[in-house]
């Protein structure tokens, strides 16, 4: 033991020998940077960071700032604190648009989830012409929103609706349905159009998720005597939940910020019954010229969007929830 | 001898003046000499206009522009946008200080960013002096503090378009001239199965035209001369009561209508009476479809009935040509507008617009288009009878925002559909308008 200690070079000796030896030449800065993992990572991320900064952070920051000013078109405006928000607080049309947006988002998202999941489960079965059906399902998603909105505009027309015509021809109704004139009908109509358009996204994404579930789990569960419902409840659903969380987060965000469908179909009418926060923000900010107030309405959407994201990330992705347990 | 652009412009203006002398008999002699604008070296222009409703309007404008390019060498690019997108595009251009040099804007757009627009008072004074003066309505939209911030280009007339045979079938030998008679006609048309239909939805043009006519024809107004909101008045109440009676006779669903619904239903034979620009009639008249041509023969137009105020008062859409002051070529832009407003070009343009664009300068009222078809006559007076948005208050962001937010349209729609009592609808409109007029 002693000899081993004595035989081993001491720390001081090692240091001395290092000092005595010729120090290798320090590589030039460019080469060092080239070989630096940290610098390279930073360099590779820089374009993305710049894009995010220019096209996301700056506009968002500007929007938030504008919400605190009385900026109008052609005039930069001055800081007015919370005045825009105080006005909106007393504005019945704004609150109506909040209600409409929540109703629109919640109803359309639930319907899109249920129908999308159902469609995904169907497409996951071994159907004849499976690939064809999968491609066809994507069509509503592929068609530009404005085009599908114009198609729905005809479908819901108060005089030329094909639905009204067909029902009258079949003798089911005796007068045309006022799809977009009656507030309740109008809300239901725009939700239906949104659901039609949004189902493919949910269905195809969930289908991708379904195909990652190992077949062996189903076989094992079947051997244990699980029913079809139990297979779905205890195998499919828990394993699909992370995908559902992501899909529905995106779906909710898309729905909450919808604009084109409403703008083409009703422009917020009748009497603001279908105005969403996004369309009202445009109407006040751009058409009306009140950039500050328009920005304030847009900023007022952020808490709702954040709540949806937080619910998804910290709620739907919790393992306990996924496994069917409570908190 | 070397000709400069300046010479060419001067010669062009002189030639145009000669043409005016020969074409516009009776137009007053102009005392003011033509201003000369020498296009900047290498100048090019970009014009943004609304998409045409009458294709020949655009074709003629392009022909006129080519004449300008041939005369001056200045290349002009003409872009177009759907007319509802003009307002946001103009807004963005004004805000960021970049975009088209010249733009055709709507209503009180120019009053939202007057300091971003080139002062064209000298040009406007010259044109006004030469061509019998500007109509007050268009002038109001184009002037701020006594200065022209744009040139009034045209009013897009709105008038009653009806099926003559159905009106006669309903027992009316001629179209009623007053609001009381009009209500009786609508009741009769409903009974004969050819109802009327007027837009109560968020139709930017038709919705606002109808709502303003309802209000103004009964003596109501949104604000007084000082900009104080005075919508809560007995006159407004009368206009709502009248609208409610009228609505009962309409084809169902007018509260969902946007701008195109009434044309579509009318040309499909679903409606006996609508209010619209002349495009509804023109599209039937110029159609290849024999059925539509038959309908065109039965179509008549007339001005909207006169209400208790005793005179014709209507909104009509107006369009103003503005030059943004960020343009690097202000002289070229002014020279272009001067050229396009001279009789040789303007008369051709008005004629090819087939009654859709009503002149902004009084001398052009003599244009033969107004007598070319009896149905054009109802649109000839649009510039004369139009009342500016936000009457009787000042034009500005408040009047623009009140219209853009459909305050008046919603007031009538809410009351006629029974979503609110007339008084509640008025009070809500008052509250919303007060937000813009900052009370």
Residue A111 maps to a domain: yes
Q: Whole domain around residue A278: which residue ranges?
A: 91-322
Residue A106 maps to a domain: yes
Find the chain A residues whose C-beta atoms sit closer than 8 A to any C-beta of B: 72-75, 87, 91-93, 156-160, 175-176, 178-181, 183, 186, 266-272, 283-284, 286-291
Residue A45 maps to a domain: no
Query: How far is A262 from A281, CA to CA, in rounded Å?
Result: 13
Residue in this structure with the two tokens 């009351």, named with its chain if needed: B415
Is pLDDT of B8 > 50? no
Structure token pair of residue B229: 């909101």
Minimum-distance CB partner of B255 among A73, A156, A270: A270
Q: Is B88 near chain A, with CB under 8 Å?
A: yes
Beta bridge partners of B159: B276
Q: What is the pLDDT of residue A52?
A: 94
Q: What is the pLDDT of residue A316?
A: 65
Is pLDDT of A14 > 70? no
Q: Which chain A residues touch B268 with a CB distance below 8 Å? A: 159-160
The pTM of this model reads 0.83
Confidence class for position B32, pLDDT limits 50, 70, 90: low
Nearest CA in chain A to B94: A74
Confidence class for position A32, pLDDT limits 50, 70, 90: confident
Q: Which chain B residues touch A270 with a CB distance below 8 Å? A: 200-201, 255-256, 413, 417
Residue A214 maps to a domain: yes
Q: What is the pLDDT of residues B317-368, one digit of tens each?
A: 999 999 999 999 999 999 999 999 999 999 999 999 999 999 999 999 999 9
Confidence class for position B64, pLDDT limits 50, 70, 90: very high
Confidence class for position A319, pLDDT limits 50, 70, 90: low
Contact A160 B414 (CB under 8 A): no
Q: What is the pLDDT of residues A275-294, one digit of tens each?
A: 999 999 999 998 888 889 99
**CATH at residue A216:** 1.10.3720.10
Q: In chain B, where are the structural domains located?
A: 40-156+316-385, 159-315+405-436
From the number of C-beta atoms within 10 Å of its C-beta (0-12, 13-18, 19+), residue B259 rates as buried
Q: What is the pLDDT of residue B7?
A: 43
Contact B253 A186 (CB under 8 A): no
Contact B405 A288 (CB under 8 A): yes
Nearest CA in chain A to B92: A73
Q: Which CATH class is domain B159-315+405-436?
A: alpha beta
Q: What is the pLDDT of residues B267-326, one digit of tens each?
A: 999 999 999 999 899 989 989 999 999 999 999 999 999 999 999 999 999 999 999 999
Minimum-distance CB partner of B270 among A159, A179, A270: A159
Is pLDDT of B397 > 80? yes
Is pLDDT of B22 > 60? no
Confidence class for position A29, pLDDT limits 50, 70, 90: confident
Q: Which superfamily, per CATH, for B40-156+316-385?
A: Periplasmic binding protein-like II (3.40.190.10)
Q: What is the pLDDT of residue B439?
A: 52
Residue A210 maps to a domain: yes
SS3 call for A219: helix
Q: What is the pLDDT of residues A95-143, one digit of tens each?
A: 999 999 999 999 999 999 999 999 999 998 888 888 888 888 888 888 8
Give whichever of A54-58, A70-74, B95-99, B196-200 has the largest mean pLDDT.
B196-200
Residue A161 maps to a domain: yes
Is pLDDT of B2 > 50? no
Nearest CA in chain A to B110: A74
Query: How far is B196 from B172, CA to CA, in rounded Å?
Result: 14
Mutation pick from B106, B240, B255 vs chain A, by most beta carbons of A within 10 Å, is: B255
Choose among A284, A283, A301, A302: nearest CA to A292: A284
Chain centre distance of CA B378:
14
Minimum-distance CB partner of A176 among B252, B414, B436: B252
Q: How far is A165 from chain B (nearest CA, A)?
A: 14
Minimum-distance CB partner of A158 among B112, B116, B256: B256
From the number of C-beta atoms within 10 Å of its C-beta (0-12, 13-18, 19+), residue A324 rates as exposed
Residue in this structure with the two tokens 């009786």, named with its chain if needed: B184
Q: Which chain A residues touch B404 with a CB distance below 8 Å? A: 283-284, 287-289
Query: How far is B253 from A189, CA to CA, in rounded Å?
Result: 14
Contact B201 A91 (CB under 8 A): no
Question: In this predicted complex, what is the ipTM?
Answer: 0.79
Q: What is the pLDDT of residues A50-100, one digit of tens each?
A: 999 999 999 999 999 999 999 887 777 899 999 999 999 988 899 999 999
Mutation pick from B99, B196, B203, B253 vs chain A, by most beta carbons of A within 10 Å, is: B253
Q: Which of residues 241-260 of B touch A (CB under 8 A)?
A: 251-258
Query: How far is B348 from B354, CA to CA, in rounded Å?
Result: 10
What number is the average pLDDT over the span B221-250? 97
Q: How far is A213 from chain B (nearest CA, A)?
A: 48
Residue A11 burial (CB count, 10 A)? 8
Residue A40 maps to a domain: no
Query: Mean pLDDT for chain B?
Result: 90
Contact A74 B414 (CB under 8 A): no
Q: Report the number of distinct structural domains present in chain A.
A: 1
Q: How far is B66 from chain A (nearest CA, A)?
A: 32
- CA distances A19 to A24, A28, A149, A321, B363, Å, are 11, 22, 78, 62, 101
Q: How far is B209 from chain A (nearest CA, A)?
A: 17
Residue A154 maps to a domain: yes
Q: Which chain A residues touch B94 with a CB distance below 8 Å? A: 73-74
Minimum-distance CB partner of B116 among A74, A158, A289: A74
Q: What is the pLDDT of residues B409-430, one digit of tens each?
A: 999 999 999 999 999 999 999 9
Q: How many CB pairs under 8 A join A and B?
A: 116
Query: How far is B408 from B240, CA to CA, in rounded Å?
Result: 11
Q: Which chain B residues touch A156 with a CB distance below 8 Å? A: 256
């Amino acid at each position: 033991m002693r000899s081993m200690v004595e035989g081993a070079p001491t720390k001081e000796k090692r240091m001395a020998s290092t000092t005595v030896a010729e120090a290798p030449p320090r590589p030039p800065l460019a080469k060092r940077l080239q070989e630096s993992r940290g610098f390279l990572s930073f360099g590779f991320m820089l374009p993305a960071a710049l894009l995010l900064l220019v096209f996301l952070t700056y506009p968002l920051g500007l929007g938030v700032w504008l919400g605190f000013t009385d900026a109008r078109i052609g005039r930069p405006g001055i800081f007015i604190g919370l005045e825009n928000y105080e006005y909106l607080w007393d504005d019945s049309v704004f609150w109506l648009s909040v209600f409409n947006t929540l109703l629109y988002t919640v109803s359309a998202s639930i319907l899109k989830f249920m129908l999308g999941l159902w469609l995904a489960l169907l497409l996951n079965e071994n159907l004849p012409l499976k690939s064809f059906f999968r491609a066809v399902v994507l069509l509503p998603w592929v068609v530009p929103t404005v085009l599908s909105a114009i198609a729905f505009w005809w479908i819901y027309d108060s005089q030329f609706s094909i639905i009204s015509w067909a029902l009258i021809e079949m003798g089911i109704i005796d007068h045309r349905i006022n799809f977009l004139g009656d507030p309740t009908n109008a809300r239901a109509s725009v939700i239906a159009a949104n659901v039609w358009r949004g189902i493919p996204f949910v269905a195809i994404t969930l289908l991708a998720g379904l195909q990652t579930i190992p077949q062996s789990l189903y076989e094992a569960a079947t051997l244990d005597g699980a029913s079809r419902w139990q297979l779905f409840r205890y195998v499919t659903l828990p394993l699909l939940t992370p995908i559902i969380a992501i899909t529905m987060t995106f779906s909710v965000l898309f729905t909450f910020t919808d604009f084109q469908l409403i703008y083409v179909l009703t422009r917020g009418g009748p009497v603001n019954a279908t105005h969403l926060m996004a369309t009202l923000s445009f109407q006040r900010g751009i058409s009306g010229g009140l950039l500050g107030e328009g920005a304030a309405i847009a900023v007022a959407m952020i808490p709702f969007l954040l709540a949806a994201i937080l619910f998804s990330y910290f709620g739907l992705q919790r393992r306990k929830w996924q496994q069917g347990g409570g908190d | 001898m070397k000709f400069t652009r300046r010479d060419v412009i001067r010669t062009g203006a002189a030639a145009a003046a000669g043409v005016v002398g020969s074409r516009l008999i009776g137009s007053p002699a102009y005392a003011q000499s033509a201003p000369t604008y020498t296009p900047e070296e290498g100048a090019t222009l970009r014009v943004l206009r609304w998409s045409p409703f009458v294709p020949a309007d655009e074709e003629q404008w392009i022909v006129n522009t080519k004449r300008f390019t041939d005369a001056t060498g200045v290349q002009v690019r003409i872009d177009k946008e759907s007319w509802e997108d003009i307002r946001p595009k103009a807004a963005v251009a004004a805000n960021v200080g970049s975009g088209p040099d010249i733009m055709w804007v709507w209503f009180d757009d120019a009053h939202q960013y007057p300091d971003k627009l080139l002062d064209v008072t000298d040009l406007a004074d010259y044109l006004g002096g030469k061509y019998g003066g500007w109509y007050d309505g268009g002038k109001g939209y184009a002037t701020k503090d006594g200065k022209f911030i744009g040139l009034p280009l045209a009013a897009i007339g709105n008038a009653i378009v009806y099926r003559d045979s159905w009106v006669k079938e309903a027992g009316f030998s001629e179209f009623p001239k007053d609001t009381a008679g009009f209500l009786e006609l609508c009741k009769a048309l409903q009974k004969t199965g050819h109802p009327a239909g007027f837009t109560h939805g968020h139709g930017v043009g038709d919705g606002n035209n109808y709502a303003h006519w309802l209000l103004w024809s009964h003596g109501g107004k949104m604000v007084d001369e000082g900009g104080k909101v005075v919508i809560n008045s007995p006159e407004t109440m009368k206009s709502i009561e009248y609208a409610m009676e009228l609505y009962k006779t309409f084809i169902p669903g007018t509260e969902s209508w946007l701008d195109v619904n009434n044309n579509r239903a009318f040309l499909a034979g679903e409606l006996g009476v609508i209010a619209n620009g002349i495009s509804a009639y023109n599209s039937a008249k110029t159609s290849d479809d024999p059925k539509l041509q038959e309908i065109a023969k039965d179509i008549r137009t007339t001005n909207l009935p006169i209400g208790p105020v005793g005179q014709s008062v209507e909104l009509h859409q107006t369009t103003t040509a503005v030059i943004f002051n960020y343009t690097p070529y202000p002289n070229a832009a002014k020279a272009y507008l001067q050229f396009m407003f001279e009789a040789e070009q303007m008369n051709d343009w008005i004629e090819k617009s087939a009654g859709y664009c009503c002149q902004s300068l009084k001398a052009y009222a003599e244009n033969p288009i107004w007598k070319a078809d009896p149905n054009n006559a109802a649109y000839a007076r649009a510039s004369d009878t139009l009342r500016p948005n936000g009457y009787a208050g000042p034009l500005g962001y408040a009047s623009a925002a009140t219209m853009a937010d459909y305050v008046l349209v919603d007031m009538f729609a809410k009351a006629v559909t029974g979503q609110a009592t007339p008084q509640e609808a008025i009070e809500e409109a008052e509250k919303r308008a007060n937000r813009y007029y900052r009370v």
